Chain A
């Protein structure tokens, strides 16, 4: 019973930290409050967004193209397996040791983290478009590029967004350890607990968790929105499970 009370007390303190400023346990300037939390969140979101934008710009066209021409399958599919095996901390540490700290280097590291799921899904999505559909399009006189843009891409969008969703949540999660590389995100109260105090650390943990869940839900909604109605109906008949599942190539 006392553990529950203590636990609720900690959470109460943490919520209080988000809304009101208080002196830092390390003395000196105040910490906490909406202003500071917003600053941290803004940096966190900006870092994540920059990394995701670059990753998408690189992997979606590449994945679509490789899927269309049917080459580089080994690379595209195993990109995810290799990517999964590299811990995010190790990746960031590698960049810090070899390139140094700073926003740019960190974005680079996060881009590498984000590429594999998007690349694999883009490639797989295009490969899964049925041959007959592509042949019919070719029969209608469409060029390769037109086929990609008007046939394969719309059908591939759901799975691509699935990959984007997975990467986005990973990036948002990994941006929490960005302070190790000198970028002050929501992870700062977690890593530098002396400055913010225990309530600050818990508050940041709560906000990060919420941010990740919101990202997942928002992109999930986008994914549903870009799923063509035909696919949704067909999927509804075929699948009895509330999540997409392909036998061999699904990423995480």
Chain B
């Protein structure tokens, strides 16, 4: 079983490198604000190693769930390929813990989400949240700038909190939107992370924005968020858009009709002093890496860790090599 997969991977890699070398640039986004290179530029999309970077020490951190660990690994390995002296401090904890580590200098950078930053760090209320991804990024960037932190350009993928129920529950109670839970939630049990109780984009928001009261809220470790739903312990659970288990288990993600959830693009947040020392290469590498991180790809990478049970380190390496960023 191992050999055919390896061969398939190799063939795919060769095929994609061949395609890449032919230099087709039809799939350039029309955005135009990203640092785009002209079509005549050398076809090497890979990360260039710059010997000058070796004097800069970077410590990349991450929060405590799969997607964060994968992102942390990707950035760490990509920056190492660019010649930086990189060490890792992944799996720090929730967003408050990670921010504290960043502010105190224990880490140089970690990937945060624009929506999370707006709600948890900058105290935005539900009605003040921007709906546009770019606007959310700009606001988050401004907020971080006041703390002496720079939010580097965001990823294309969005990883939002989602209110999930099983297909059976959705059919039985006729649930399509979160508002449909009104009048029914008092008989339902909600499972979420321990921090969910305090977050406006979690239980607190459901209580304040949608006016929902649940029969019981049970805090469980973030890794169990699908388990509790599929095993029938939870009636409702909080999951992420990019979780591979959603499609696999056939969960129904209820539509956020009152706009409780802001956009959640991922942005690597760096200390200003570190960014200055690191030079222009850091932002360049991050932008290169981000380009390939679409919704679909992020979900695939998460699946490789959560479902195929590979390590985030290995999967990050696969992403970088499969997309041609690192040889």
Q: Do chains A and B touch in the complex (CB under 8 A)?
A: yes
Q: Which residues of A contact B (CB under 8 A)?
A: 24-29, 96, 100-102, 179-180, 182, 184, 188, 192, 194-195
Interface-facing stretch out of B2-10, B72-80, B190-198: B190-198
CB-defined contacts of A102 to chain B, threshold 8 Å: 231, 233
Complexed CA–CA distance, A74 and B197 (Å): 50
Task: Name 22 A/B residue pairs within 8 A (Cβ), A-sorted.
Answer: A24-B197, A24-B198, A25-B96, A26-B195, A26-B198, A26-B199, A28-B198, A29-B198, A100-B227, A101-B220, A101-B228, A101-B233, A102-B231, A179-B219, A179-B220, A180-B221, A182-B224, A188-B194, A192-B194, A194-B96, A195-B194, A195-B219
**Which chain B residues border A28 with CB–CB below 8 Å?**
197-200, 204
Most buried by A among B93, B199, B224: B224
A-chain residues with CB within 8 Å of residue B14 when the two chains form the complex: none
A24 and B94 CA atoms in complex are apart in Å by: 13
- Chain B nearest Cβ from A194, distance in angstroms: 5
Q: In the complex the two chains form, is A194's CB within 8 Å of B94's CB?
A: yes
User: A245 to B204, alpha carbons, bound, how many Å?
Assistant: 56
User: Within 8 Å CB of A96, what residues of B?
Assistant: 224
Contacts of B84-102 to chain A: CB distance below 8 A:
93-94, 96-97
Question: Which bracket fits the contact residues of B?
Answer: 20 to 34
Complex contact A194–B195 (CB within 8 A): yes
Any A CB within 8 A of the CB of B218? yes
A184 & B219 in contact (Cβ 8 Å cutoff): yes
Report the number of A-B residue pairs with Cβ-Cβ less than 8 Å.
Answer: 63
Q: CA–CA, A3 to B220, complex, Å?
A: 35
Q: Which residues of B contact A27 (CB under 8 A)?
A: 96, 120, 198-199
CB distance from B195 to the nearest CB of A (A): 5
Most chain A CB within a 10 A radius of its CB, from B93, B97, B220, B228: B220
Cα–Cα distance between A182 and B216 once the two chains are bound (Å)? 12
Contacts of B232 on A, CB cut-off 8 Å? 100
Contact A29 B233 (CB under 8 A): no
- Smallest Cβ-Cβ distance to B204: which chain A residue: A28
Interface membership of chain B positions 203-241, coded 1 if the CB is closer than 8 angstroms to chain A and 0 otherwise: 010000000000000111100100110011100000000
Chain B residue nearest in CB terms to A25: B96
Q: Is the CB of B93 within 8 A of A100?
A: no
A102 to B228, CA, bound (A): 9
Q: A23: nearest residue on chain B (CB-CB)? A: B198
Please name all residues of chain A whose beta carbon is closer than 8 Å to the beta carbon of B194 when the two chains form the complex.
26, 188, 192, 194-195
Which residues from chain B contact A180 at a C-beta distance below 8 Å? Answer: 221
A192 to B219, CA, bound (A): 9
Q: Which residues of B contact A24 (CB under 8 A)?
A: 197-198
